[in-house]
A = this chain, B = another copy of it.
Amino acid sequence: MKKVAIIGASGYTGIELMRLAAMHPLFELVAVSSEQFAGKSVAEAFPFLAGRVNLSFQALAQHTELERADCAFVALPHRKAMEVVPGLLEKGIRVVDLSADFRFRATAVYEQWYKPHTAPGLLTQAVYGLSEVYREKIRSAALVANPGCYPTAALLPLIPLLISGLVSIDGIVIDAKSGVSGAGRGAVLTSLFAEVNEGIKAYKAGTHQHTPEMEQELSLAAGKPVVINFTPHLIPMNRGILATIYATLHGKTKQDDVLKCYRSFYSGKGFVRICSPGTIPSTHQVRGSNYCDIGFVVDARTNRLIIISVLDNLLKGGAGQAVQNMNIMAGFAENAGINQLPLFP
Using CB atoms and an 8 Å cutoff, list the residues of chain A in contact with chain B: 12, 15, 19, 22-23, 46-52, 171, 173, 175, 177, 179-181, 185, 187-189, 191-203, 205-207, 227-229, 231, 233, 235-240, 242, 244, 246, 270, 273, 275, 279-289, 293, 297-299, 301-302, 304, 306, 308, 339-345
Please, which residue of chain B has its CB at the minimum distance from the CB of A172? B302
- Of B46, B191, B298, which contacts A193 at CB under 8 A? B191
- Of B50, B180, B293, B308, which contacts A273 at CB under 8 A? B50
Query: A231 touching B206 by the CB < 8 A rule?
Result: no
- Of B195, B239, B302, which contacts A198 at CB under 8 A? B239
Please, which residue of chain B has its CB at the minimum distance from the CB of A242? B200
The count of identical subunits is: 4
Query: A200 touching B285 by the CB < 8 A rule?
Result: no
Q: B residues within 8 A CB of A343? A: 19, 288, 343
- Of B48, B195, B236, which contacts A342 at CB under 8 A? B48
Given A193-B197, A229-B302, A340-B23: A285 and B202 within 8 A (CB)? no
- Of B173, B205, B280, which contacts A205 at CB under 8 A? B280
Q: B residues within 8 A CB of A171? A: 171
A234 to chain B, nearest CB (A): 9
